[in-house]
């Protein structure tokens, strides 16, 4: 009897689970649920609730203590009710583990379905970018690059359309894919003849230097989504993107860009690798892309894997990377355009849907090498993950999600991060399950902090506008 009573009392005690975080900015406080992505904004009372529920506390005592802080009793009770409803506060008999398992079930629903296929049409490249992450998995420096044949490309296309219930795009990739433009042309025409009803679009990532009139007109005709690798203005671009003789490549890239623009390519974007050089003038570079190049989109990717010690200085600080990505988002949004780096997190953050896997390699990318081997990511070319059979490691890759990683259990970004790049994980820790606390994890936490307070700012200004007479 006594035991039951004790149990009853205990079950009425409240606490906050370890996936609830309390953040402060100026006079504002936020309780953030890292698993359900719920956010609660308010004043000091939130901090008091958080502090008082660090240890188990009876609900009545909690209410009393908060009332003593000069708050209205009814409002306090309502607040506690709401916080309980949204699992910011739970009773002591609440099983956090069970709740985590429930969240994890979402991961089971994700099935690997190739949505986009990347054809690595050429392993060779005429540039020698200092941070190139591909030169370690394919021999981009070879004087005899491997080129994809039409037969291999055709078989890959047939495989893609047969195995994908929802094919979205085909992307041509390299090395420098335009070294093998002949195959690009032939395969696009093949798809248009053999699969006229497939509503897919074509993408290409190029350094632009090999673009000529014919190529530009071809891309315009087939409405290619084009990403041209440009790191910024001449000074910043040439600091990393060079020819084998160390000569800058800016002029040739820009020449290609203007040819594409002149030919009427409508989906022309820049792809810049954020490194310690161009990040110092990120605003200037964004304006260069938007105002001078008139880019339809700007994509920033933080520098990935640098294995050569002499180029390690190219790593920027994670805080600066996050700030640059946010700046890009804000600039583009103000012009009615979309930045995809931040957008991928924002969609989940706002919709309160856990982002289990950030990279397409975990759920929907199919990479084909020049020999016709299929794999999940071009950074793993030549590894056990590539085979003629198809994607055989999909389940293993998908399960490397923060919700499954013990190291991520107490991280504020667990529900929004989607896991770091598999190639980066391998480079940092030796295998694809590694984490990278100092760089990738820090970038993500910075982005999350920005999202939390940017939402608060926008909600406040909406409220203000509403309350204006």
Partner 1 sequence: MRKKIQTKIVKVRQAKKCYPITSKAKTFIYTAESVTPLIAAGKTPKIK
Binding site for partner 1 (CB under 8 A): 38-43, 45-46, 69-72, 75-76, 79, 82-83, 86, 88, 115-116, 168-169, 201, 203, 205, 223, 225-227, 266-267, 269, 271, 296-297, 299, 333, 336-341, 343-344, 346-348, 350-352, 357-358, 360, 363-365, 455, 458-459, 462
- The CB-of-169 to partner 1 minimum distance in angstroms stands at 7
Beta-strand pair 57-58/13-15: antiparallel
What sign does the dihedral 72-78-82-87 (CA atoms) show?
A: positive
The nearest distance, CB 309 to partner 1, in angstroms, is 30
Q: How far is the CB of 398 from partner 1 (least distance, A)?
A: 12
- Provide CB contacts within 8 A for 120, sequence distance 6+: 138, 148, 173, 174, 175, 367, 368, 369, 370, 378, 381
Q: Least distance to partner 1 from the beta carbon of 457, Å?
A: 9
CB of 418 to partner 1, least distance (A): 9
Three-state DSSP state, 375? strand
Element (H, E) at 24: strand 20-25
Minimum distance from residue 45 beta carbon to partner 1 (Å) = 6
- Pick between residue 118 and residue 145 the one whose CB is nearest to partner 1: 118
**Which of residues 107 and 147 has its CB atom nearest to partner 1 in the complex?**
107
Q: Return the number of the residue (14 or 152) whose C-beta is nearest partner 1.
A: 14
The token pair that represents 359 in the structure block:
């990279």
Q: With respect to partner 1, which residue has the nearer C-beta, 158 or 223? A: 223
Task: Name the nearest CA neighbour of 96 among 34, 160, 164.
Answer: 34
Minimum CB distance to partner 1 smaller for 86 or for 396: 86
Quick one: how far is CA 89 from the chain centroid? 31
Q: Is 120 helix (H, G, I), strand (E, B) or coil?
A: strand
Identify which of residues 226 and 411 has a Cβ nearer to partner 1 in the complex: 226
- The least distance separating partner 1 from the CB of residue 430, rounded to whole angstroms, comes to 27
Rounded least distance, CB 310 to partner 1, Å: 29
Q: Are 136 and 175 in contact (CB under 8 A)?
A: no
Q: What distances in angstroms separate CA 433 from CA 112, 420, 437, one per listed residue?
A: 18, 9, 13
DSSP string, 230-263: --SSHHHHHTT-B-TTS-B-HHHHHHHHHHHHHT
Q: Between 331 and 365, name the residue whose CB sits nearer to partner 1.
A: 365
Contact 303, 275 (CB under 8 A): yes
Name which of 38 and 141 has its Cβ closer to partner 1: 38
Which residue's structure tokens are 């909406």? 462
Among 307, 325, 334, which residue's Cα sits nearest to residue 137?
307
- What distance in Å separates the CA atoms of residue 448 and residue 249, rounded to the nearest whole number? 36
């Amino acid at each position: 009897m006594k035991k039951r009573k004790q149990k009853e009392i205990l079950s009425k005690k409240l606490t906050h689970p370890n996936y609830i975080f309390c953040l402060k900015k100026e006079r504002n406080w936020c309780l953030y649920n890292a698993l359900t992505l719920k956010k609660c904004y308010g004043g000091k009372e939130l901090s008091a609730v958080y502090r008082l529920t660090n240890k188990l506390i009876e609900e009545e005592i909690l209410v009393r203590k908060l009332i003593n802080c000069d708050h209205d009793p009814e409002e306090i009770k309502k607040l506690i009710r709401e916080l309980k409803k949204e699992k910011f506060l739970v009773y002591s008999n609440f099983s956090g583990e069970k709740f985590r398992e429930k969240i994890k079930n979402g991961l089971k629903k994700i099935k690997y379905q190739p949505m986009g296929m990347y054809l690595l049409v050429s392993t060779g490249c005429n540039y020698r970018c200092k941070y190139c992450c591909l030169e370690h998995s394919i021999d981009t420096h070879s004087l005899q690059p491997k080129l994809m044949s039409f037969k291999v490309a055709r078989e890959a296309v047939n495989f893609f359309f047969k195995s994908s219930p929802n094919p979205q795009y085909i992307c041509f990739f390299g090395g420098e894919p335009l070294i093998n433009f002949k195959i690009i042309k032939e395969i696009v025409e093949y798809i248009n003849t053999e699969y006229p009803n497939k509503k897919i679009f074509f993408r290409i990532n190029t350094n632009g230097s090999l673009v000529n009139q014919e190529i530009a007109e071809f891309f315009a005709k087939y409405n290619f989504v084009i990403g041209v690798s440009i790191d910024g203005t001449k000074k910043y671009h040439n600091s990393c993107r060079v020819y084998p003789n160390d000569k800058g490549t800016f002029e040739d890239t820009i020449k290609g860009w203007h040819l594409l623009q002149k030919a009427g390519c409508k989906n022309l974007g820049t792809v810049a690798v954020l490194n310690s050089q161009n990040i110092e003038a990120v605003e200037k570079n964004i304006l260069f892309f938007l105002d001078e190049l008139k880019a339809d989109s700007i994509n920033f990717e933080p520098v990935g894997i640098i294995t050569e010690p002499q180029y390690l200085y190219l790593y920027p600080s994670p805080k600066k990377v996050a700030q640059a990505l946010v700046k890009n988002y804000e600039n583009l949004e103000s012009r009615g355009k979309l930045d995809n780096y931040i957008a991928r997190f924002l969609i989940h953050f706002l919709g309160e849907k856990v982002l289990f896997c950030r990279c397409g390699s975990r759920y929907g990318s199919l990479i084909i090498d020049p020999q016709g081997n299929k794999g999940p990511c071009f950074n793993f070319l030549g590894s056990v993950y590539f085979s003629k059979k198809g994607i055989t490691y999909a389940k293993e890759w998908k399960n490397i999600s923060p919700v499954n990683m013990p190291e991520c259990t107490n991280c504020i970004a667990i529900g929004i991060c989607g896991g770091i790049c598999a190639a980066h994980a391998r480079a940092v820790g030796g295998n694809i399950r590694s984490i990278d606390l100092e760089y990738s994890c820090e970038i993500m936490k910075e982005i999350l902090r920005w999202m939390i307070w940017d939402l608060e700012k926008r909600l406040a200004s909406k409220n203000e506008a509403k309350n204006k007479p």
